[in-house]
Structure 1
């Protein structure tokens, strides 16, 4: 027995179509539509009467001539908009959307349904609401968006369950079961088909019951149930549709029964049923049913060795305008293999290329969501047409391509990771080199500052103790040299002047020595030494805030030298009339500011002198931050230094 692959649920018809097909034979149905059109053309109607006729025509043509249905619907919609009747507007929008869906134009169908939905939700008409949800579900189902389709069907079911409308529920449950059937979730499909069957029996919905039996026959065939079960369901459906006179659904049941026999290799029974289904489908004029029946007849002829007839039927399928890629692919497959058996290599090659193009298009259209379904159909066709070697080779190439792509991606990923690691390591190495260079520079600067401080200390000591002592000794000995000698008045004046100059030299020497290394700084710290320094300058004021804890000696010397240099710069270059010095000392930081009201300078155009550069070096040596703000109103220099734990406790 062949392994059956279920064909996707065919065109979904509204409940009204089932009722219409039951109540009106095809001939009577056409006569009824003609009479309605005649009324519209010949009789003078009010707007309300005209909208009613257009609504009927839009609704009745919906399932047999979508273009005419849409045309009548748009006429009615224009008239409804003119009257402003929102319920009628919503009705036409909904019906036009459904007509576009029946015509296979799903995007446009959704546009009309989206416009109808808010209007319908405002109306107290649950049947119209469920009709909209059902239409959404049908559209999403044919678009293979099964999750969204089931969500809309369930929304419709909730409304109908609340209203206890078992007639509508039968159709909705059947649609939910159909969606699960397409997804091959047969357990869930059987649950909903079971519910639908009970309601259809209860409401005596024969057409609905027949449609359910067609689906149950399909599922039993796929699940490998006994042949009798599939045949019984299909035969029950066929009997029902023959009794109700629903020729369209009868044709579907006939094709299903033929398919059951075909997949169980009973060609003698399958062939006449399939031939009958194809002939009746042509009479009805529904392309989808024609294609389905012809495809089945073509396969039956192929497996019985009648390859020429199989080719003829497959070529006929290709002449029919259908958007379903599956029968087209099947026709090309049959034409390829049948021509090979007939000894037509050129035709075989031609249809092999067509088959490959169709497969590629199928893969592109369905992408990931349909890969599993494609694989199942592919495996079936491989067994049906006995071309295992060719297909295995194709499959091998695909897997090799995938494996090669995966390996390439892995290699690229490793290369990318290695590249990023190399870049990261290089950046870390550069940062480390920069850090070491900065430390090296800081060590050099610190050593320079230490040397400068030591040299200043030595010079100050030599000047104060050495040269200062000698000058003091000279001053003490000069009066003794004079003794009792008689000097002229001019000489006495010169002598007194020399003594005065000697006193001034001693005082200046002490001042220079003090500024080179203030004794008050070494003994008492920054506050006392800076107070002494600023007191000696009439235009300078000193302000101190914070605690008076001593800082490390090197830091105190650095702060003192910086302030000393900044004050001297203000005196020499800024022509300042007032200088303000401020020092703030906290437990974890120290900052100082030197501000003057001098002429300032343009920081972008004027290059910093040696004094400012020395200050920057000193501040950076202690990882401090220096900011300069200068304008015509004056200059302000602000320095901040962070204190380490060791420095805080010194």
Structure 2
């Protein structure tokens, strides 16, 4: 406790000293503004420096002096100063979580930067836009904004915004669960920052590298990186709170609970000092993680409920709160609450996976990293335009050289068609790459979640079950205690079955270990009304294709049970050297395929099958059941 108090006092002193120094500087500038006569331009410049001094730690004064300075800047029509004030005020609203108002100022600063013609201001505007979207967990839009900084590169590698953009892209990939991709951008940021002596980039790169190594399970390397920048981060409370959260995870991996509690206390002070709801939520989730690791389930549940009461919708914090509440409730015997929050956790994770998040991100990355292919498309488009012009010109002299023009017309038309086919082929390749990237991301996410549920909660439930079954002497128990013990065993068995079901639905182990046939057999065996038949060669297909076919079968069988009121479902898989075919047939109520409105699940199946150049056929009529057939040709 003494050590925790000492660390907390050190954080208090560091944050207070930083704020005091900034306040003294701002006060000296305010004295000049209030006592000297000056032009609007001079006044606006001083207000810009004053606002910047308050921006990191004093939101009310940031808004107050930023508004006053903006009025002066608008009067003198200085584009750079107008941009700065929009930037400062917009950032203030962002960190207050007033996103609607922040978006207004964000659009204003982007417009001001582009109208100025200054590339560095444009880079700063897109930096602010990326921060705005990342703060809300909208990482696809954040990455798009940060990539715009790289696209507006002016040749100056030492530019702070150019360096930081790499780190911000890496952070988004890290938060998206892609640590290896994040490592690429973060190492690039570290090299540039150290080469040009950019302190913010150095701090961010080491901090984020610590997060990445933590995600990769290397606690020692994570601590090495994060402890390098911890003293410097105290001047930025939001970054400091995120860093404390990561340090807590690293300390928990190494079983250092006192150090973890000390970091949590520092994060709590930063939240109280800044008044930021995001940091408050983060702090209570940190405490819940520590208490869960220590087995202090009452305190874990209390802390997680406090986090949930502050923010129950954020993609960054709400799933963590829901998981801790569910876990602690299960350990405390609160069966209904545990089931409710496990359901909420599962729903939020599925929503995060299915909101076209990874698909759009993958498409955007393909655009950025396949610039040469885009240039080829542009070149072919120009070539097609040239031949169109040639065709029109030839038509004007058709009567003079009929034979020659006819030949040239046919030749040009053939070349145009060839160019169009090449364009279409390249665009299809881009779409396939994007879809495969989505499938890879979704498969990795489902595999990780299934492993965490099975290895974490599953092993703990097994140990609890062994302890309960180890009780032999019932003579010392009352009849009521014996009944409660029996009920606890039944509830524990039910919870274990439910946990295995959720983990299996996310990513069945038999799919990765035994292949598609075994996975579908297991799945149909678990459903009383489902039969499975297999024809052909039992060979392993491409891993992504096996996952795709399994998820299609899963979705179609669930649709038959939920919507068709079927009493019998037949699943048939056929595999040979050139074709894989999946058929799901039920005896349900059926429907008219020409008039029915398909849901998001079936539309998702159709899009993914199309990415593999496959085809899907639906045969159904009211009262006559339904049969859905999927066919995909295999590469030779």
Give TM-score, length-normalised by structure 2.
Answer: 0.52
Structure 1: how far apart are the matches of 2:43 and 2:293?
Answer: 57
Whether contact under 8 Å (2:73, 2:81) holds in the other structure is yes
Q: Which residue of 1 aligns with 2:292?
A: 302
Structure 1 pair 358–241 and aligned structure 2 pair: CA distance change class (3 A):
closer
Instruction: Look at both structures and tell me which one has the larger radius of gyration over its CA atoms.
Output: 1
Find the aligned partners of 1:260 and 1:140 in 2 and give their Cα distance: 27
Measure the CA separation in 1 of the matches of 2:170 and 2:352: 25
Q: Report what 2:499 is aligned to.
A: 391
Shift of 1:113: 3.4
CA contact 1:54–1:76 (8 Å) conserved in 2: yes
The alpha carbon displacement at 1:197 in A equals 0.7
- What are the residue-to-residue correspondences of 1:155-234 with 2, within 5 Å? 155-225=148-218, 227-234=219-226
Q: Give the match for residue 321 of structure 2.
A: 331
Structure 1 partner of 2:228:
236
Conserved? CA contact 1:241–1:250, under 8 Å? yes
State the partner residue of 2:592: 416
Deviation at 1:35, TM superposition (A): 5.0
1:260 aligns with 2:368: no
Q: Distance in 1 between matches of 2:301 and 2:110?
A: 48
Query: Does residue 48 in structure 1 map to residue 54 in structure 2?
Result: no
Moved more, 330-339 or 123-132: 330-339
Q: What does residue range 278-317 of structure 1 map to in structure 2 within 5 Å?
A: 278-279=268-269, 281-283=271-273, 285-317=275-307
Residue 69 of structure 1, CA deviation: 3.0
The alpha carbon displacement at 1:350 in A equals 4.5
Go from structure 1 to structure 2 and tell me whether the alpha carbon gap of 1:257 and 1:416 turns closer, same or farther (over 3 Å shift).
same
Match of 1:368 in 2: 355
Whether 1:349 aligns to 2:339 is no
Shift in alpha-carbon separation, 1:155–1:328, aligned structure 2, 3 A: closer
Alignment of 1:27-176 (within 5 A): 27-34=20-27, 36=29, 46-66=39-59, 68-142=61-135, 146-176=139-169
Q: How does 1:434-513 map to 2 (within 5 A)?
A: none
Shift of 1:195: 1.6
Q: Would the aligned equivalents of 2:22 and 2:54 in 1 still touch at CA under 8 Å?
A: no
8 Å CA contact retained: 1:318, 1:331: yes
Taking the aligned partners of 2:556 and 2:256, their CA distance within structure 1 comes to 42
Query: Unpaired runs of 5+ in structure 1?
Result: 1-20, 424-650
Is the CA contact 1:308–1:342 (under 8 Å) kept in the aligned structure 2?
A: yes
Kindly tell me: are residues 48 and 340 of structure 1, through their superposed partners in 2, closer, same or farther at Cα, counting changes over 3 Å? same
Q: Mind listing any 5+ residue stretches in structure 2 that lack a counterpart?
A: 1-13, 359-441, 461-494, 507-522, 528-553, 565-584, 596-617, 622-636
Per-residue CA distance 1:573-601 (angstroms, 9 max, x = gap): xxxxxxxxxxxxxxxxxxxxxxxxxxxxx
Cα distance in 2, alignment partners of residues 257 and 422 from structure 1: 57
Contact 2:288/2:301 (<8 A) preserved: yes
In the superposition, relative to structure 1, how do residues 259 and 195 fare at CA in structure 2: closer, same or farther (>3 Å)? same
Question: CA RMSD, aligned part only?
Answer: 4.3
Q: Report deviation, 1:130.
A: 1.0
Q: Distance in 2 between matches of 1:277 and 1:142?
A: 18
Match of 2:452 among 375, 380, 405: 380
In structure 2, the CA distance between the partners of 1:406 and 1:271, relative to structure 1 (3 Å rule), is same
Deviations 1:526-562 (A, max 9, x none): xxxxxxxxxxxxxxxxxxxxxxxxxxxxxxxxxxxxx
1:93·1:113 contact (CA, 8 Å) conserved in 2? Answer: yes
Q: TM-score, normalised by structure 1?
A: 0.51
Contact 2:451 2:503 in 1 (8 A): no
1:406 aligns with 2:559: yes
**For 1:168, what is the secondary structure of its paired residue?**
helix
Distance 1:350 1:158, change over 3 A: closer
Shift of 1:131: 0.3
**Residue in structure 1 matched with residue 606 of structure 2 by the alignment:** none
Is the partner of 1:104 in helix, strand or coil? coil
